[in-house]
Amino acid sequence: MGQWDLLNQLFTVVVEFDATGEVTRASPLVRERFQLADNEAFDFFGSFEFKRPARFAGELRDALASPGRLFLGHCEAAKLAIRGQIIPAEDDSGSAWFAGVPWLAWMRDHYGEELLHFNDFPPHDSQMDQLLLLSSQQRMLEDLQEVNGDLQEAKVALEGQAGIRQNFFNRVSHEVRTPLTGISSALALLRDGLSDPKSRALITMADASVDRAIEVVNFALGDASDDMKDQEALTVAVDLRHLVAKVAKLFEAGALEKGLTLETQVDDALSASYWCPDLIVREALINLVSNAVKFTETGWVSLSVKLENPSVEMGGHQIIFTVADSGPGIPANLRKTAFAPFETGITQETRHGGGTGLGLSSTEAALKRIGGSISLGDSHTGGAMFSIDLTLQICADSPQIETDEVAEQVYVFDHSLLLLDDSPTNLSLNGQLLESIGFSVTRAASGSEALAIAESSVEPFDVALLDINLPDMTGYEVAEKLATLPACKHTVLVALSAYSEAKEKQEAADAGMVAFVTKPFKRDAIAALLASMLTMTEFERSGSSSSEQQADAAFEPMDVAEMIELMGGEAVVTLANTLEVEGLENLQGLRSALVAMEYHTAEREAHTLASSCLALGLVSVGRQLRQVESDMRDGNRPDASVVPGLELMFTEGLANLRDHLSGLQSR
């Protein structure tokens, strides 16, 4: 008996191939299911979709390279599923056989009406089915282990590539942010020396452009490298009036150069501030206004924001931003694809404007991520009009704003500061910038120089602003060594870096740094941050002062007198008891939120406790909490190291409030 006849007695599915992979013979079940004549050839491997082995390419040579492997395949057209093995011929002809059985489990689940009958199987098929299954299990396990090994290798390779990409982002981020620091500082100093309104306005425009460049760097290099979408969607407290004004400021020069009128309109019914994904909304408006100015040759461009629906559930407002222009508009036949990638909507009239067509597509995608939408219409003159529809939550207890201008707080310091930066330009300009707000600045260009200055200094430094990336050692090492010097016991250590990753911020915190400043920094922003840090430190240093002085700093009796007169002493005592319990909970919540970098929650905790403290005369801690709240709204986010000082101030203020109330009750 030949090998072909023997296989057909043992197996239901038998196929013979020649050396080229062409089918020369097939068992009756295969011929019947594929409706083949006796000698008719067919493409066996092409007819079946194989589930096993993994990555099987469907060629005979690949099958012969996997002897003993379990093959699982199915053919929808023939209503046949098979499982079996490839058996090479014993001679050198290069031919082979597929020997197997119907894959009944697959056929039962997928081709129920095509189930086989008992007579379709040869006498020994059921026994050989079991033997085939047992002999191929080990091969199947090896196959899966091989796939798992390949996947693990691919995972390691991808992680390595991610590390290379991250290093690239960090390096380019540092190299781009460093010169921007010098430009920003130089503009601030130049503005101080100008009295001409026109010159100051030009400096303001240039400064706004630097801000825009910094945002682009943050998007493309810094924050974009890790968790970009989460960072983009992060909500912060935003005054929509200021947002519109800042976006318009970026394009004043371009509009003026083209003779365009750039208008802004703000609905008076808007609340003071909203929880808003500032990065996404700002980018969307910048993209739309940029296009409007680019494609409009004469006339006007307008940017407006209005309250569309104040009755949205859960304290939200439906907000509509609109960017319109008097340009040629977008033809009706191009509007359906206006938001598709690489579609520019350019016509013969607007061809000079150029563009890649990625802006509107990415804008629409980003707005969808935050639950918003963008639509296209016509302005009243026939130009383009884009509308952004968002639902934003109102910041708690935000009053209506009665004026478009908010006074900026002016900080004047009388403190010493050690500035460490290896860039001569930034060392000079940032030193002058800090001196312009009252700091006595000592400069160091390396870690070793900074340590030598600190060790030999007669007076301790109030602040040390330390660059992280240095030629001789890291800023983290400098911070750790400064902390061991007796003269630096109370020095506020602040990290300064062009990097902005969570890893760098955590390393700074581990080294004892209480804040992290990303280059380039703004004078007002760093002044507010240092004011907050110095207030905390100076309060902790004041432990040797008299209790009467501490009482004056922590508690103001006049602030609670009116409340006592209106409500009675017992009611105020009850409020004090409630404040003690809820205040400690607020402080714990603030600490947890700052550790988790949940700044929305942290701002609410600070706001709630500040209001309660100020109402009951706890002035110091109330004002400090207001400062923390303000810093977070401005993007200068503190870390959890501020909480111990707040707890001390709260405890002292509460104790003085109780002493005051006890004195009143004993009279």
Distance CA 508, CA 475 (A): 8
- Among 537, 646, 626, 657, residue whose Cα is nearest residue 583: 646
Lowest-pLDDT range of 76-80, 213-217, 254-258, 638-642:
213-217
Domain count, the chain: 4
Together in a domain, 478 and 355: no
Together in a domain, 258 and 368: yes
Q: How confident is the model at residue 311 (pLDDT cuts 50, 70, 90)?
A: low
> Does the pLDDT value for residue 465 go beyond 90?
yes
CA distances in angstroms from 500 to 68, 233, 468, listed in the order given:
55, 17, 11
Identify any residues that bridge with 384 across adjacent strands, giving them in sequence order: 378
> Does the pLDDT value for residue 98 go beyond 60?
yes
The whole-number average pLDDT for the span 568-583 is 76
Instruction: Tell me what percent of the residues of the chain surpass a pLDDT of 70.
Output: 72
Distance CA 11, CA 82 (A): 11
Dihedral sign for Cα 501, 503, 506, 508, please. negative
The whole-number average pLDDT for the span 7-33 is 84
Under a CB-based contact definition with an 8 Å cutoff, are residues 393 and 274 in contact?
Answer: yes
Backbone phi, psi, residue 70, to 5°? -85, 125
Together in a domain, 376 and 425: no
Dihedral sign for Cα 199, 202, 207, 210, please. negative
> Does the pLDDT value for residue 450 go beyond 90?
yes
Distance CA 326, CA 382 (A): 7
CATH code: domain of residue 321 = 3.30.565.10
Which of residues 123, 153, 187 is at a domain's end?
A: 123
Together in a domain, 259 and 355: yes
The whole-number average pLDDT for the span 461-469 is 92
Contacts of 160 (CB under 8 A, 6+ apart): none
Which of residues 71, 106, 123 is at a domain's end?
A: 123
Which of residues 341, 359, 394 is at a domain's end?
A: 394
The whole-number average pLDDT for the span 251-276 is 86
The whole-number average pLDDT for the span 126-152 is 56
pLDDT at 323: 95
Write down the pTM of the prediction.
0.38
Count of H helices and E strands in the chain? 24, 18
Chain-centroid distance, C-alpha 549 = 45
The whole-number average pLDDT for the span 639-649 is 87
Q: Is residue 403 part of a domain?
A: no
333 or 18, greater pLDDT: 18
The whole-number average pLDDT for the span 273-277 is 84
pLDDT at 172: 62
Under a CB-based contact definition with an 8 Å cutoff, are residues 500 and 462 in contact?
Answer: no
Residue appearing with tokens 């120089």 = 449
> Does the pLDDT value for residue 445 go beyond 60?
yes
Distance CA 531, CA 624 (A): 10
Under a CB-based contact definition with an 8 Å cutoff, are residues 456 and 409 in contact?
Answer: no
Q: Is residue 165 part of a domain?
A: no
N-terminal to C-terminal alpha carbon distance within the chain: 122
Q: How confident is the model at residue 139 (pLDDT cuts 50, 70, 90)?
A: low
Q: Quick check: bond before 331 cis, omega within 30? A: no
> Does the pLDDT value for residue 119 go beyond 80?
no
Phi-psi region of 378 (alpha: psi -120 to 50; beta: other; left: phi over 0): beta
> Does the pLDDT value for residue 426 go beyond 60?
yes
Report residue 104 as tokens.
């009944």
- Among 290, 337, 289, residue whose Cα is nearest residue 345: 337
Chain-centroid distance, C-alpha 327 = 35
Distance CA 388, CA 395 (A): 20
Contacts of 240 (CB under 8 A, 6+ apart): 266, 270, 273, 274, 276, 305, 319
Q: What is the mean pLDDT of the chain?
A: 76
pLDDT at 358: 43
Q: Is residue 352 part of a domain?
A: yes
Maximum average pLDDT range among 242-256, 344-358, 653-667: 242-256
CATH code: domain of residue 21 = 3.30.450.260
Together in a domain, 420 and 298: no
The whole-number average pLDDT for the span 256-271 is 88
Distance CA 596, CA 311 (A): 32
The whole-number average pLDDT for the span 54-67 is 75
pLDDT at 246: 83
6 or 184, greater pLDDT: 6
Q: To which H or E segment does residue 228 belong?
A: helix 228-232
Q: How confident is the model at residue 175 (pLDDT cuts 50, 70, 90)?
A: low
Together in a domain, 62 and 82: yes
pLDDT at 556: 55
Together in a domain, 531 and 441: yes
Contacts of 262 (CB under 8 A, 6+ apart): 248, 251, 252, 255, 256, 293, 300, 301, 302, 303
pLDDT at 473: 93
> Does the pLDDT value for residue 219 go beyond 60?
no
Q: Is residue 329 part of a domain?
A: yes
Letter for the amino acid at 85? Q
Q: To which H or E segment does residue 48 belong?
A: none
pLDDT at 554: 57
Lowest-pLDDT range of 73-77, 224-228, 616-620:
224-228
Maximum average pLDDT range among 172-181, 218-227, 500-509: 500-509
Together in a domain, 492 and 563: no
pLDDT, one tens digit per residue, over 186-213 is 777 777 777 777 777 777 767 766 766 7
320 or 404, greater pLDDT: 320
Contacts of 102 (CB under 8 A, 6+ apart): 12, 13, 29, 80, 81, 82, 83, 116, 120
Report residue 393 as tokens.
């939550």
Instruction: Tell me what percent of the residues of the chain surpass a pLDDT of 90.
Output: 12
> Does the pLDDT value for residue 585 go beyond 90?
no
Counting Cβ atoms within 10 Å, is residue 666 exposed (0-12), middle (13-18) or buried (19+)?
A: exposed
3-state SS assignment for residue 270: coil
pLDDT, one tens digit per residue, over 485-513 is 988 888 989 998 876 667 788 888 888 88
Q: Is residue 263 part of a domain?
A: yes
pLDDT at 300: 93
Together in a domain, 522 and 554: no
Q: Is residue 201 part of a domain?
A: no
Helix axes 523-541, 619-633, angle to 10 degrees: 150
Together in a domain, 375 and 427: no
> Does the pLDDT value for residue 371 go beyond 60?
yes
Extract the runs of DSSP E, i.e. beta strands, from 468-577: 492-497, 515-518
Report residue 595 as tokens.
């550790």
| Other CB atoms within 10 Å distance of the CB of residue 551 | 18
Distance CA 472, CA 337 (A): 55
Together in a domain, 308 and 334: yes
Distance CA 426, CA 445 (A): 10
Q: How confident is the model at residue 143 (pLDDT cuts 50, 70, 90)?
A: low
Q: Is residue 269 part of a domain?
A: yes
Q: For 318, which DSSP code? A: E
Q: Is residue 215 part of a domain?
A: no
Distance CA 12, CA 34 (A): 14
> Does the pLDDT value for residue 344 go beyond 80?
no
The whole-number average pLDDT for the span 244-273 is 86
437 or 302, greater pLDDT: 302
- Could you list the residue range(s) of the whole structural domain that residue 310 is in? 240-394
Report residue 379 as tokens.
């302005």
CA distances in angstroms from 178 to 424, 495, 499, 596, listed in the order given:
11, 15, 10, 29
- Among 568, 572, 559, 550, residue whose Cα is nearest residue 655: 550
Torsion of CA 639, 644, 647, 649, to 10 degrees: -100
pLDDT at 181: 64
CATH code: domain of residue 445 = 3.40.50.2300
Distance CA 208, CA 214 (A): 10
CA distances in angstroms from 559 to 387, 567, 617, 648, 654, listed in the order given:
47, 14, 5, 20, 13
Together in a domain, 587 and 656: yes
pLDDT at 2: 72
